[in-house]
């Protein structure tokens, strides 16, 4: 699965493929340097893009992909060195980007010392997504920011990123039940995992039980029950979908 395909999958937030079992791919990750012209300011810069990669193993409970795709996260968001525009592809424009990238919240986030630089880029992309009224993409990038914090060992920053993502998921699901992901109980998996990783076990258990009350399909039920086992142990570590199936 290419990086572009993964991003498209997340933007649709379809769980079906990954919940059927571990994804397995062959071949090494390859990257290359390409010149990108910023869609906002027109300045060209050299960016590294993923040409090909693979997945070997199971995604995490929050759908973070396994290796080798997992380690390509560094290249999932590009930043213009001139104006600070952040995008999956700098040559693709975002509605209202001019105003957003010059706003105080964006400039503050881009240089926020409390977050690793990669996490700041994801959170800035999330701000652009929100301006364009693409809440699902914004949530995805907030979760990516949490993963970047995990990789950098920035635990406090990871907690903030997960809290931000959870708040936006709740805002969506309060408006339209099941709006974030399609299957009954799937939203509750993600919410339970976000709060469990934050150490908020009471909230995590509540969402897991809410998901079970929706009488979800078997694989989702198994994952929710696995979340409850982890919560009972006060386990805040990352775990995989495959673990829930064993």
pLDDT in tens, 187-246: 999 999 999 999 999 999 999 999 999 999 999 999 999 999 999 999 999 999 999 998
Residue 169, phi-psi category: left (phi > 0), alpha (psi -120 to 50), beta (remainder): alpha
Between CA 63 and CA 72, with CA 67 as vertex, the angle to 5 degrees is 90
pLDDT tens digit string along 133-176? 999 999 999 999 999 999 999 999 999 999 999 999 998 866 55
The stretch 19-27 carries a mean pLDDT of 45
Q: What are phi and psi of 31, to 5 degrees?
A: -130, 160
> From CA 11, how far away is CA 18, in angstroms rounded?
14
The percentage of residues in the chain with a pLDDT greater than 70, rounded to a whole number, is: 86
Q: Is there a contact between 40 and 92 (Cβ–Cβ < 8 Å)? A: no
**Which position has the token pair 């997945």?**
55
pTM confidence score: 0.88
pLDDT given for residue 27 in this prediction: 64
Count how many Cα atoms sit within 13 Å of the Cα of residue 226 in the half-sphere of its side chain.
22
User: Considering the chain, what percentage of its residues have pLDDT values greater than 90?
Assistant: 77
What burial class does residue 98 get, using C-beta atoms within 10 Å of its C-beta: 0-12 exposed, 13-18 middle, 19+ buried? middle
β-bridge pairing 56-57 and 44-52: unpaired
d(CA 161, CA 174): 20
Of 12-16, 52-56, 121-125, 202-206, which range is least confident? 12-16
Higher pLDDT: 167 or 3? It is 167
As a dihedral over the C-alpha atoms of residue 165, residue 8, residue 186, residue 221, rounded to 10 degrees, the angle is -130
Mean pLDDT of the chain: 88
> In the predicted model, is pLDDT for residue 4 greater than 80?
no
Contact 169, 190 (CB under 8 A): yes
pLDDT band at 66 (very low <50, low <70, confident <90, very high): very high
**Which residue shows structure tokens 């809410």?**
210
């Amino acid at each position: 699965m290419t990086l572009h395909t993964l991003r498209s999958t997340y933007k649709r937030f379809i769980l079906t493929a990954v919940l059927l079992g571990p994804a397995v791919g062959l071949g090494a990750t390859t990257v290359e340097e390409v010149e990108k012209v910023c869609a906002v300011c027109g300045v060209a810069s050299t960016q590294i893009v993923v040409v090909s990669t693979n997945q070997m193993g199971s995604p995490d409970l929050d759908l973070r992909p396994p290796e080798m795709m997992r380690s390509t996260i560094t290249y999932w968001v590009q930043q213009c060195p001139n104006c600070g525009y952040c995008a999956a592809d700098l040559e693709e424009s975002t509605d209202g980007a001019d105003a957003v990238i010059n706003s105080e919240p964006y400039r503050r986030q881009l240089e926020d010392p409390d977050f690793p630089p990669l996490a700041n880029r994801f959170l800035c992309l999330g701000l652009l997504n929100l301006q364009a009224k693409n809440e699902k993409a914004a949530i995805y990038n907030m979760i990516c920011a949490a993963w970047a914090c995990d990789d950098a060992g920035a635990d406090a920053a990871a907690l903030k990123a997960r809290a931000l993502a959870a708040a936006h998921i709740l805002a969506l699901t309060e408006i339209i039940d099941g709006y974030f992901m399609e299957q009954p109980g799937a939203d509750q998996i993600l919410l339970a995992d976000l709060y469990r990783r934050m150490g908020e076990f009471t909230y995590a258990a509540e969402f897991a039980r809410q998901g079970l009350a929706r009488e979800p399909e078997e694989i989702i039920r198994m994952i929710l029950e696995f979340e409850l086992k982890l919560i009972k142990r006060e386990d805040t570590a990352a775990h995989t979908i495959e673990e829930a199936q064993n």
